């Protein structure tokens, strides 16, 4: 098996040679290959997500004001929503 296919951040192409080597792999080797592919995709996705967040920064104060402007959402409910947004975006303080 050619390891350069699994360690690079480039797209992995399933050519005939890789297909044949996959067919001959035992479970542990195939699991390692799939984990490498998954990790490369996860890292690339995280890098792209960080780049997109930097490009389009969200004004949390404006978001909070827009949430509070929705009819039926009071101060307390808006605070709960903002807490969840901060939690999921790993923002410690507004």
Token readout for 86 is 């901060």
Q: What is the pLDDT of residue 52?
A: 63
How many Cβ atoms from other residues are within 10 Å of residue 5's Cβ? 19
How many Cβ atoms from other residues are within 10 Å of residue 53's Cβ? 11
Phi/psi-derived region of residue 16, left when phi > 0, alpha when psi is between -120 and 50, beta in every other case: alpha
Tell me, yes or no, whether 49 and 16 share the same domain: yes
In total, how many domains does the chain have?
2
Determine the structural domain holding residue 78 and report its residue range. Answer: 58-94
Q: List pLDDT tens digits, range 2-41.
A: 444 444 456 778 899 989 999 999 999 999 999 998 988 8
How far apart CA 90 and CA 18 sit, in angstroms, is: 39
Q: Above 70 in pLDDT, residue 47? A: yes
Tell me, yes or no, whether 64 and 52 share the same domain: no
């Amino acid at each position: 098996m050619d390891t350069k296919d699994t360690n690079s951040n480039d797209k992995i192409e399933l050519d005939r040679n890789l297909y044949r080597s996959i067919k001959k792999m035992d479970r542990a080797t195939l699991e390692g290959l799939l984990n490498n592919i998954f990790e490369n995709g996860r890292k690339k996705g995280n890098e792209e997500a960080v780049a997109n967040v930097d490009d389009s920064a969200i004004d949390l104060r404006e978001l909070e004001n827009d949430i509070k402007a929705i009819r039926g959402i009071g101060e307390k409910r808006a605070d709960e929503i903002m807490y969840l947004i901060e939690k999921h975006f790993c923002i410690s303080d507004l």
